[in-house]
Every structure is written in structure tokens, then in C-alpha cells.
Amino acid sequence: MHIGQQEWRQLQSASEPLAFRPLYERLAAGEPDAATRAAAADFLRARLQALQSEQGELPPSPADLLAWMEENTRSVHARYAHYLEQRRAGAPRRFFGNRAHALYFLRNVAPTKLVDGAWLYGLLPHWGSPRLGDLVRTYVEELGEGATDKNHVVLYRSLLARYALDPLDDLPDALYEQGLIQLALAWNAQEFLPEVAGFNLGYEQLPLHLLITAYELNELGLDPYYFTLHVTVDNGDTGHARRACQAVLDLLPRLDDGGAFWRRVQGGCKLAGAGLGTSDVIAGFDIQAEALRLLARKAGAGSGAHSDYCRVGGRSINEWLAQPQRMGEFVAALQQAGWIRIGEPAEQSRFWSLLQGERAEMFGVFSSYELQVLHDWLRGAGSADGRPFTEAAPTQPRRRATFRALARNAPALALPGADDAVDPDLMLLREQLRGSDPVARSALLLRAMSPAQHWTPAGLEATRLFWAEATR
């Protein structure tokens, strides 16, 4: 599903909530009860039915899967080479107009990234089956085999924290659809085995947007590692893309089922492209709309906290902030009064001096993400240089240092410890494992490796123990 900016703004401003986020949160919180699993299964059936008439990407016959995968890889590599050619010739970034745009993207795709790999979780109890081995191995690798710096969800959570992109409680409900699909498959794998294999097949193929995203994040001085890691692990030789094809071939029935299993695999593959994806989020960015949204969100906290001596457009600041739905009018009044000067350096706006600088009266009101949005909004076209709001304007034009160049000259930040002695779940897991028989031990490890827990210290330890025992 791909949408334009108008449809995106309609989704953002819709007053009636959709059905995705509540079920997503119930499935992500822990082991769901029977009613929640049933609701997730109903959701999957409805989504599969809705996608039935859409053109699929898979070849007509599973015999052509490997050739299909190899052709996709060649095509992506060729298109990426063309992109790099264009950039070397002076073309602007294709995805991110400025630093705020890139941060907005990282924040808005979070509901999907925070459940990365979840669709395979339900297969863990069958890790001993030779026909499911490739899929179980893929899940464990999504979990980084228990290594903190390789677990995909740990990496994304760290990315959100690093750039102050959380909390996420104001994201549009539509952004939760793809993550909900993954969680619904996780908790209903036995009923939807062909769809799980098909989803994995579609999701693990190398997409062009992954390569461009990593390149442009690095160019803007933002950490691209989460995305470059996916480029390597999803490779078409020994990586997840190849293994996804082999998993489907291993699972195909030896008995004649009239092609029913393969048709369900094709349906599952369509699920991998359902909901709002990378291209939709990137195309939906409107910095004016995002700046107004952030200002309106802060209005509730600021209303009543200002003195009445300052009036703009004939009204006090408190009066303006009491009606956040009129934020556009307030901003226009601030522009008229000279407090906001769009298209000029941010420092030329008196409003910016309230947020940053010596004796800034509103210091600490906005997060670093919000400040970057406001900074780039004020600067207009000048923000294409990707300058962070914390960095002074250069005295002469110069090339921006990439993230990798900056990282070479700065100490690395440690990720949260996998062996955190004060983590209560880790202490509890160790205590319960000490007194458990083999059946109970297996159940404990699998429960700790669920989408709700695998990124925690307890989940990371459970993953390491599980994989060591499964591969010895």
C-alpha cells in the first residue's frame, strides 16, 4: 500500500482510531490469552482475504524461487549502483531532505522495527524439526544469538533513545499495521505455517530502500548500523534471503495437495508488503505539518504558564495555547510580529532564542528531536545541508562529516548490558532455571525469547542458552 501526502495527513489527523494499535500492544505485552490470539487470527484472515486480488511478487512455481531471489538481488544492486552514480554526479539525497526528515522516518517506522523478527517466534517449540531448522535459525539470528550488539530490537531501541525519538504514544494508528501482522503470525504460527513461511520469504529479500536508507543516514551523521546489519544478514548467498527460499522448499508437501500450500505461501508473501512501509513514511513527511503538530502537542503543558504582559496578534500567549487547534493561526501571528522568520538561519528568529542559547526561557521544553524539526522548519531550504541544531553554522561551505567518520574520532557508547545484575527478570530466570527439569527449562527459555522479552537481559541470556543447547 503506497499513499501520497494528502492521504498520509488524513491518517495522521483522523479522529476515529483504527483497530491496529490496541491489538498490537496486547500481543507485544507478553503471552496473550486465548481470546487475544483468536482476535489476532481473525485479523490475519481478514487481511489475507483483502489482499487476495492483489498481484503477488512470487513466481508461479516454487521451482523458480532461487532464480527469482537471484534476479531480485541483481536488480537491487544495479539500481543502487545507478543511485550512487547519480549522487556522485551531484544529485541530492533521494530520501531525506534534511536531518529532521531522517529522524522523523526513524521514529515513524518504530512500531515495525520494535517487533523485528517476531513473525517466526511461534516456530521455536519445533526447533528440532529438520524442515523448520532454517526458520528457527533465522529467528535466533534476528535476536543476535543473544548478543546485545546484534539483537535487532536492542539496536533499534538504542537508536530511539540516542536521538530522543521516544515516547511513541502520538504516532498514527496506521503505522502499527505491519507490526501487528508480524505479532499475529508469531502467536498463531501453527494455524498459519504456510503464511509464516511466505511472509518470511517476502520480508527477507534485499530491498533497494534499505541500501539507500543506510547511505543517507550515514551521510547525515546518523547511526546507520541497524540498517547495514540487515544488508549483510539478508544476503542472497548464505543469508536470510537465501535461507527463506530454502525454508519454503523444505516445507512444501511431498504429497499432492493440488498446490494449496504454495498458494498460501503466496498469500503470506503479500502480507510482507501490507500496511505503511518505508516509502510511504518518507513520502508522507511535511515539515510544516510536523512542526505545527509538535507545537500543538506542547500547548497543553504551556497553557497557563505564561505571563500576560506579552501579547501577539491581540491575544495573550496563554489564550493562544488554550486552543491548540488554532496553532496555525498563532504561528502566522508570530511571523507577522517578527518572532518567526521562515527561510532564514534559525538564530534570526526570536522564537528560537527562547529554546536555545544563553538564558533561553524555554530551555528543556522540547526534546532534541523536536528541536531539530523546529530548527529545520525555520531554516527552510537551507536545512538541506543536514546540520544538527546543536552545531553552529560554518563560516564557509564544507562537506558534512559522515556518521562513520565521526565515530572513528569519538568513544563508542556502550549498549545496555546483557548481564545486568540488578535486572529482576534476569535474576528470576536464573533462579527458576536452577530448579527446573528439562521440560520446564525449555518452556522458560522459549517464553523469555518472545517478542515481548527477547531484547531484555533475561531474554538475551535465554537466547544464548537456547542456541548453545540447540547447536551442541
Note the pLDDT tens digit of each residue in 341-396. Answer: 999 999 999 999 989 877 777 778 899 999 999 999 999 999 999 999 998 877 65
Examine residue 362 and state whether it is found in any structural domain, yes or no.
Answer: yes
Cβ neighbours for 354, distance < 8 A, ≥ 6 positions apart: 360, 361, 362
Q: What is residue 306's predicted lDDT score, i.e. its pLDDT? A: 52
Q: What is the pTM of this model?
A: 0.92
Q: What is the pLDDT of residues 390-445, one digit of tens each?
A: 988 776 566 666 766 566 555 555 555 545 667 999 999 999 999 899 999 999 99
Helix axes 260-271, 34-51, angle to 10 degrees: 100
- Quick one: 371 and 237 in the same domain? no
Cα–Cα dist 261/64, whole Å:
16
Cα–Cα dist 143/25, whole Å:
20
- Quick one: 377 and 434 in the same domain? no
- Quick one: 295 and 194 in the same domain? no
Residues paired with 316 in a beta bridge = 311
Q: What is residue 399's predicted lDDT score, i.e. its pLDDT? A: 65
- Quick one: 41 and 130 in the same domain? yes
- Quick one: 171 and 236 in the same domain? yes
Q: What is residue 323's predicted lDDT score, i.e. its pLDDT? A: 86
Report, as ranges of residue numbers, the positions in the chain whose pLDDT lies below 50.
Answer: 1-5, 8, 11-12, 14-16, 304-305, 418
If one counts the domains in the chain, the total is 3
Which domain range does residue 303 map to? 287-398
Q: What is residue 239's predicted lDDT score, i.e. its pLDDT? A: 80
- Of the candidates 116, 178, 182, which has an alpha carbon nearest to the alpha carbon of residue 144? 116
Question: What is the torsional sign of CA 288, 106, 277, 450?
Answer: negative
Q: What is residue 301's predicted lDDT score, i.e. its pLDDT? A: 61
- Residue at which a domain ends, from 255, 283, 311: 283
Contact 13, 6 (CB under 8 A): no
Examine residue 209 and state whether it is found in any structural domain, yes or no.
Answer: yes
- Residue at which a domain ends, from 229, 262, 283: 283
- Quick one: 265 and 368 in the same domain? no
Contact 293, 107 (CB under 8 A): no
Q: What is the largest CA-CA distance in the chain?
A: 82
Residues paired with 315 in a beta bridge = 312
Residues paired with 266 in a beta bridge = none
- Quick one: 331 and 462 in the same domain? no
Examine residue 417 and state whether it is found in any structural domain, yes or no.
Answer: no
**Exposure string over 45-69, b if 16+ CB within 10 A, otherwise e:** eebbeebeeeebebeeebeebeebb
- Of the candidates 186, 185, 187, 193, which has an alpha carbon nearest to the alpha carbon of residue 47? 185
Cα–Cα dist 67/78, whole Å:
16
- Residue at which a domain ends, from 283, 318, 337: 283
Examine residue 411 and state whether it is found in any structural domain, yes or no.
Answer: no
Cα–Cα dist 270/199, whole Å:
7
- Quick one: 271 and 386 in the same domain? no
Contact 356, 270 (CB under 8 A): no
